[in-house]
Every structure is written in C-alpha cells, then in structure tokens.
Chain A
C-alpha cells in the first residue's frame, strides 16, 4: 500500500546546528503538508506545498517540494531548544497519510 517514509527517524543536534528531515512517498502527491508535534502535545500545522519544486520559508524553516512531487524536505537553520519535537509530513490526498515522523532533540 501507499507509504510515506521520513528519514531520519531520530536526530540529536547541538543548539545552533542545522537539521533536515526528508519525506518520501511511493506515489506522486497532489500536495504535502508539514506538522510539528511538541513532546506531549498535538500536531500543529506548519505549511502546505502544492507546486512541483516549490520552496517556502518561515523564519529559520525552509520547506521544499520535489520536482517529481514524490518527496519533500524541511530544513531548520541554527536550531534552538524550542525546535524540539516530532516533525511529520502529510500526504494530503485522498487517504491523508502521515509520514513516519522525525524526532528532533536539541541540546543546549
């Protein structure tokens, strides 16, 4: 069946280092969304990407949609302790399939 894989599963970084999570789908996506879930919290919508090759920025966060619309990435520049959490991509087509998530830990 359709899967949405994210790598890495876990990432530990020192505060100030950069972080990237990658989302890969087995099928072409009409659009993709990204969510952040803090420890003990609920997923919070970050952004939606629709166009092939689209790049969007939110302060230190950069989101990219692949040319073939089968992959996406989220890059955080100069991580802060407030970035701690699990980042999920979401295949926002018929089946609403979440990626497997990347758990980010930031050490001060």
Chain B
C-alpha cells in the first residue's frame, strides 16, 4: 500500500484558491488517488478521486502529473467552512481497498 506525504498544516484566506499537494512516490499501477475532508468529530467525506491527468467536480479539482508520484487538490474560492483536515489516500480500488491514512493537512481559512 502506497504511503503518502502531505503538509501538516496550511493557512489561507476566504475567496482564495488553495492547493494542497500530496506525495506518493511508490504508487502502484492499479492505485487510484482519493481525497477526503474531515471536520472535527465527524466521519470523513469524499471529495474527489482520480487516476491520471485532471479531474474536476463541483467542489474541487485534482491534478495528477504523468508520473503519478504526486497529486494536487485544488479548492477554488475557499470559505471559512472549508476549514478542515484533508487526507490524500492511495489504493487499489479494485481490491478490498484497505487504505492507509496519513496525517492529513489541517487547512485553516481566515476571514
């Protein structure tokens, strides 16, 4: 199972675009990259998932370079409610999909 590395914390301001990068140097061929958001005392919530290039949904974009050894979660125009911990996970979604959760990135949005 691939291990991930993320910044421990980040600060930004309302209305800004926030990019959180995750390193996963030993990602395997069958591994997908998934990002989750967690608020205090709540279960994580799925944000976005991708395999390569770029994926976009209504809340975020995910950029994955050709070598797939890293990925960047992009949150457009953040608000105070985006303050949370963001986890990057890598795993084979076709298998039993057990995931190793890294420390995550604590994102603090300031007014």
Tell me, yes or no, whether A binds B.
no
